[in-house]
Amino acid sequence: MKKSNRLIKNEDFSLVIKTGQYQKSNAYKVYCLENKLSCVRVGIAASTKLGNAVIRSTTRRKIRAICDLLIDYTAYSLDLVIVPKKEFLEQDYLTNKNELEKLLEKNLRTKQ
C-alpha cells in the first residue's frame, strides 16, 4: 500500500469513525466515509487491547497485505478505517481475508 493511500492524521481517523458508516464481523470493524480525493485511503487502528507493540505491528502489516489484494485504490473515493478485534489473532489468514473481503464488498457496494 502506497503512503498516499494511507490515513495518517488523527483528525482523519476521528472524522471517519465519528461520521462514517460501519460494518462489523467477528474479526473486524470497518468504518467507511466518502472523501473528495480520487483514491481510497485506508487507516488501521490496532488498540492496545489487541496485544503488545509487536503483535499490533504484525497485525497492521497483515491487514495492509490483505488490503492490497482486495482493494482497487483508484476505483473509489473513500476513507476506510479498519479496527481489528482480538478474534483476528485467533483465526487463520484465509478466514481473516474472507471476512474483510465481505465487509469491503458491503461498503463499496453501498458507495457506488
**How does pLDDT run across 62-84, given as a tens digit for each residue?**
999 999 998 888 888 889 999 99
- The pLDDT score that the predictor gives to residue 3 is 80
Q: Count CA atoms closer than 13 A to 107's CA, side-chain side.
A: 29
Task: Enumerate residues 6+ apart whose C-beta is below 8 A from 49.
Answer: 86
Domains and CATH numbers, the chain: 3-107 (3.30.230.10)
Q: Quick one: CA dihedral 70, 62, 96, 41, positive or negative?
A: negative
- The pLDDT score that the predictor gives to residue 56 is 93
Give, rounded to a whole angstrom, the gap between the first and last alpha carbons of the chain: 23
53-70 helix and 93-110 helix, angle to the nearest 10 degrees: 60
CA 110 to chain centre: 16
- The pLDDT score that the predictor gives to residue 112 is 54
- Is the separation of the CB atoms in 12 and 35 below 8 Å? no
The three cell numbers locating residue 50: 489487541
Positions in the chain short of pLDDT 70? 109-112
**DSSP structure class, residue 48:** T
